[in-house]
Structure 1
Amino acid sequence: MGKESKKTQFKDAADLLRQFSLHGKRENRLSILLGLLQIAMTILFAFVVADILDNALFQPEKTLPTAQVWLILTLSLLTKAVATYMQNNIANQASIKIRSQLRQFALNHCFTLNIRLFPRFKTAELSNLLSTEINSLRLYFADYSAQKYLAVLMPIAVIIAAATVNWLVPIILALTAPLVPLFMILVGKKAGQASHDNLQQLNRLGNLMSDRLKNLQALQLAGTTEQEADKLFQKSESFRETTMKVLRLAFLSNTILEFFSAISVALVAVYLGLFFLDKYQLGSWSDDLSLSQGVFLLMLAPEFYLPLRRLGTLYHAKADATSVAEHLLTLNKLASQVSSNELNLEQQPLPKIDSLQLDTVQAGAKERPLHTPISITLEMKDRVLLNGPSGSGKTTLLDTLAGLYPLHQGKIKLNEVEHNIYQHPDWQQQIGYMTQTPELLFASIRENLCLGRDFSDETLFQALKDAQIEELISSLPGGLDYIISDQGGYLSGGQAQRIALARVFLHKPRLLLLDEPTANLDEATAQAFMLQLAVYVEQGGILIMTSHRPTDQHFFNKVITMQALGESHE
C-alpha cells in the first residue's frame, strides 16, 4: 500500500472511493449474494402466506396449513435472519479492512511529505482526518457499497416474481420506482454540500482550539481569555448549526422516501381493490385473479421499494464519504507535487561527518532564493557564527542544513563527496538542531531527553547540568518523570529551551545547529552555556549558530555572513 500511496492517481473523489472499495470486493460480493438470498426468502414467504390465506378464507373447502408448509415458513424466516446477520458481519469486516487501508494511505503520505504537510494541513485537521473523518466512512463501505447494487437487483427480482401472476403490477412498480432515486439525488446534493460545510466547521473549530490551548499562557498574560472563549463558543455554535442542518436534510430525505413509497404501494392496493370489485379485468394473465395472487402482489409491493428506501437513508453516508475523499485527494495531490528527487526515494547511505563543504549554496523556495550564494569548508571542532540582518535567510539556511528543505541551488559535500541530505535519516541521526521555539513532547522530561534511547539517570542529569537546568529538574515533583506539555507546560520559555539543549548535549551530534540559543537566557547562564558548547566542540563536533549577543562573537573561529538578495554589498 506504501507504493500505491505514492503512485496512484485518482480522477476525483468517486474514483478514490471506488478504488479503495476494491479492497473489500470479496466481502461486498458475498454481501450482495446474501442480500439476494434474503429477497428470495421474502418472495417465498409471501407466496406461502398468500396461499395459506387463500386456502383458509377464499376456497370453498377451507384447509389449514400442513406441517410441511409450516416448516417452509420457519426455514424461510430463519434463513433470512441468518443471512441478514451474516451480511452485517461481513459488511463490517469489509468496512474495517477498507478504512484501515485508507488510514495507511493517509499515514504514508504524511510520513512521505514530512514537514511539507504544513502549512497546507494543520495538526488538528490531520487528527480529524485520521480519526473522525475516516471512521465516518463506516456506513459507506459497510452498507452503501453493497446496497447500491442491491437497490437494482432486489427490485428486479420482485418484478420477475410479480410478473409470474400479473403484468400490470410490475409496470406500476417500474414506473413509480424512478421517483425515489430522483428525489433522493435532489436532496442528496444539498446534503452533500451541508456535509462538506460541516466538515470544514469541524476542522476550523479543531484548529482554533489547538491554537488557543497552545498559547494559553500568552492569552492569560494578555488578559484576553474571556474574549477567546467567546470566539470558541461562536465557532462551536457554527459547528452545531451545520450539524443540525445535515440532520434536517437527512430527516427530510427519509420523509420524502417514505411518502413516495407509500403512494406507490397505495397505487398497487387501489388497482387490486378495483380488480376484485370487478371494475375491470386488466393486468392478469388470465381472466381472473385469485385472492392468493392478489395477496402475493400486495405483499411484494413494499419489498420492491424497501431496497430503494434503504439506499436513500444511506445517501447521506455517500455525501459524507465524498467530503472525506476530497480531503484525502488534497493530501494525495500535495504528495504528487513532490518530485521523486525531492523525496530522495533511492537514498544512498551517508558517511560519518568528518568535514562539511558548502559550495555556492542558496536556501529558499523553488521560485526564489533568499540570500546570496555561500561557499565555506568546515572541519571538526569548527565554531561557525551565522551572521546577517533579519530577513537574510539565517533560519531557512539552518532548516535546509537540517535536511528539512531541499537546496535551492548549490552542493553540500560530506568528506569532499556531494550528497543529497534532504530528509535523509542517516543525516538527521548525525545532527542536532534546536530552533528558536524548541519542540517538546507531551511526555515526561526523561522521555523528552531520551527520544526512545536508553540512558542512565546519571547521564541524563549530566546533560541537564551542562544545559544549566539540573537544579530545577531536581526540584520538580517526580524529577525526570515530571510530565510536561509540547509547549513546556508550566516551564518558562528559557527553561523549555534548556531542556531541548540538554537533549542536544545528551545525543552528542556530529553537527550542531543552533538558532539563537542564548536569546532567552540571562548573562550568567548564557556564559555558562557557551562554556559547555566549547566543551562539546573540543570533544569533536561542528557548531553552526546564530546569535545577536555581542559577547558571543569572540567565541567563533569562522563567520558566515548572510546577505538577502537585492541588498547592496558594502
Structure 2
Amino acid sequence: MAPQLFQKMLQKSNLRTTHENESFMNHVSDLLQGFPTLYSYGLLGNLVTGVQAAGARLMHIKLKQVKAEQLAGNTGGFFNIIGQLVITAWTGFLAFRRLIPIGAINSTYSLSYNILNSIAAFGPTLTEMRALQPVFDKYQFAQADDGRHKQQLQSSETAITLDHLSYRYAGAQQDALAPISLTIQPHAKIAIQGPSGAGKSTLLGVIAGKLPDYQGSIKLQNIELNQLAPSSLISRVLYVDQAPHIFNGTVRENLELGKTYSDEQLSDALAKADLLADVNRMPQALDTLVGESGKMFSGGQRQRLALTRAFLRMDKRSIMLFDESTNSLSKESAIQIENTFLSIAQLTVIFVSHQIHAENSSLFSKIITL
C-alpha cells in the first residue's frame, strides 16, 4: 500500500518525462534537418552543443523520474522489512514464552529469505540509476575530424580551377554534372545558368565541399579540394541554399546561429536582404518565434533570412556561392540583393540561376551555360 501514496507524484513525473522526450526528439530532428545550413556556416559545433543541452535536460527529468520510482519502491520495501522483522521478533518471543512450539521458528527462515530478498532489491535499484548515464553518453558526439593532417588555404586570394570535373550520384546511370574545365580567378563574378538537371547545383555542391567523391579535379590555390581541411574550406567558402532550413527558435537565433551580433548589425543585414520591414512588423521583432521549420515565413522570407545570414558573415569569406538563392523573391528585390553582392570587389561570387536578369548581367565577369 505504501507505494500507492506516491501515485500522483509518479504520474506527474512520468508525464514530465514524456513531454521532455518529445521535446528532445523534436529538437534533435530540427538540428539534423539543419545540418546542411550548419555545415555551410562552419557551425557543426552547434549540432553537438544543441544535442548535449537537450540531452542534459532530458537526463535531469529522467533522473527525477527514477528517483520518484525508487522512493516509492524503497518505501514499500522498508515497510515490508519492518513488518517482517516485527513478525520474526514476535514469533521468537512467543517461542521463548513457550506459547508456541519451538518448531514455529522454522517460519523465520522463510521470513528471513523475504527480508534479504527485499534488501537485495536495493542493489538493482542502484544499478539502474547508475546505468542511466550511458544512455545519454551516446549523445556526447565527438567533433568531426577537422582534417588536421590535411592542407590549409594560406591566402584570401583563392583561384578555383576545374579540370574535367564531373559528378555522378551513387546508383545513377549518368553524370549529374558532365565534365567541365574552367578557371575562376579571385574576385570574379560568375553566373551559371541552364535548365533543371544540368548540374548547376551539383557544381556548387562540389565547390562547397558537400560532394567530396567527385571525378576529375578541382583545386583551390592549386590544392586539390579533397586534400583541404574541411575547416579551412568552410572558412573561405559560404554556400547559400535555395531551400534554407529555418530552426525552431526566434528570428534572432536563426540569424546568429550561436554567434553574437548587435541589434544594429542584425538590422543592417536584414535591411540589405530586404527583410527588415517584415521583421519589425512581427509581434516581438527579432525575438519573435518563427514556429516549427519557420512556418511563419513565406518562401521568399525564408530566402531573405538565409541571405541575411550571408550578409552577417561575408566579411570573413572570400567565395560566395548562391544556389537559386533569390528565385522566390520579386524581380526588383532579387536584383537589388544580387547587385549588393556583385558590387563587393574583394568577393568571388558564383550565382546559379535558371535565368540571369538582363538588368544586372553586365556586372558578371563571365556567364556560363551548362
TM-score, normalisation: structure 2: 0.63
Q: Which has the higher contact order (CA 8 A, sep 6+)?
A: 2
Alpha carbons of 1:457 and 1:103: their partners in 2 closer, same or farther (altered >3 Å)? closer
Tell me the SS of whatever aligns to 1:560. Answer: strand
Match of 2:167 in 1: 363
Residues 494 and 520, structure 1, Cα contact 8 Å, conserved in 2:
yes
- In structure 2, the CA distance between the partners of 1:438 and 1:100, relative to structure 1 (3 Å rule), is closer
SS in structure 2 of the partner of residue 420 of structure 1? helix
Asked whether 1:437 is paired with 2:243, we answer yes
1:514 aligned residue (306, 322, 325): 322
Name the counterpart of 2:184.
378
**1:467 CA drift (Å):** 0.8
Q: Is the 8 A contact 1:442 1:486 kept in 2?
A: yes
Amino acid at match of 2:357: P
Aligned residue runs from structure 1 range 446-485, under 5 A: 446-485=252-291
1:127-526 superposed matches below 5 A = 346-355=149-158, 356-366=160-170, 368-420=174-226, 424-485=230-291, 487-508=293-314, 509-526=317-334
1:394 positional shift? 0.7
Deviation at 1:525, TM superposition (A): 1.5
User: How far, CA to CA, are the matches of 1:487 and 1:421 in structure 2?
Assistant: 35
Cα distance in structure 2, aligned partners of 1:478 and 1:420: 44
- Higher normalized strand content (fraction of residues): 2
Q: Percent identity?
A: 28
Question: Which of 328, 333, 336 in structure 2 is aligned with 1:528?
Answer: 336
Deviations 1:432-483 (A, max 9, x none): 2222212221111111111111111111111111111111112211111111
SS of the aligned residue for 2:121 comes to helix
TM-score, length of structure 1 as denominator length:
0.42
* Helix, strand or coil at the partner of 2:320: strand
SS of the residue 2:177 aligns to? coil
- Residues 103 and 478 of structure 1, relative CA distance in 2, 3 Å threshold: closer
In structure 1, how many angstroms separate the alpha carbons of the residues matched to 2:137 and 2:249? 29
Q: How far, CA to CA, are the matches of 2:310 and 2:270 in structure 1?
A: 10
Q: Determine the C-alpha separation between the residues in 2 that align with 1:403 and 1:523.
A: 30
Q: Which letter maps to 1:361?
A: L
What is the letter of the counterpart of residue 273 of structure 2?
Answer: A
Residues 354 and 414 in structure 1, CA contact (< 8 A), matched pair in contact too: no
Amino acid at match of 1:99: V
- Identify which of 112, 115, 130 aligns with 1:78: 115
Structure possessing the higher radius of gyration over alpha carbons: 1
**C-alpha separation in 2, matches of 1:482 and 1:561:** 41
**Cα 1:457–1:418, aligned 2, differ >3 Å: closer, same or farther?**
same
Instruction: Tell me how far 1:347 sits from its aligned partner.
Output: 4.0
CA RMSD of aligned residues (A): 3.2
Distance change (3 Å), C-alpha of 1:483 and 1:511: same
Does the CA-based 8 Å contact 1:474-1:480 persist in structure 2? Answer: yes
- Report the structure, 1 or 2, having the larger helix content: 1
Deviation at 1:92, TM superposition (A): 4.8
8 A Cα contact 1:467 1:498, kept in partner: yes
Aligned to 1:89: 126
Q: Which residue of 2 aligns with 1:133?
A: none
- SS of residue paired to 1:513: strand
For 2:111 and 2:284, the matched residues in 1 are separated by: 67
Name the counterpart of 2:39.
none
Alpha-carbon separation, structure 2, partners of 1:423 and 1:416: 14
Q: Assess if the C-alpha contact under 8 Å between 1:430 and 1:511 holds in 2.
A: yes
Q: What's the CA shift string for 1:232-254, capped at 9, x where partnerless?
A: xxxxxxxxxxxxxxxxxxxxxxx
* 8 A contact 2:303–2:326 mirrored in 1: no
How far apart are 1:383 and its partner, in Å?
Answer: 0.5
Q: Is the 8 A contact 1:353 1:414 kept in 2?
A: no
CA distance in 2, matches of 1:518, 1:63: 96
**What CA distance in whole angstroms lies between the structure 1 residues aligned with 2:225 and 2:208?**
13
Structure 2: gaps of 5 or more residues:
1-83
What residue is the counterpart of 2:357 in the other structure? 550
Count of matched residue pairs: 268
Letter in 2 for 1:402: A
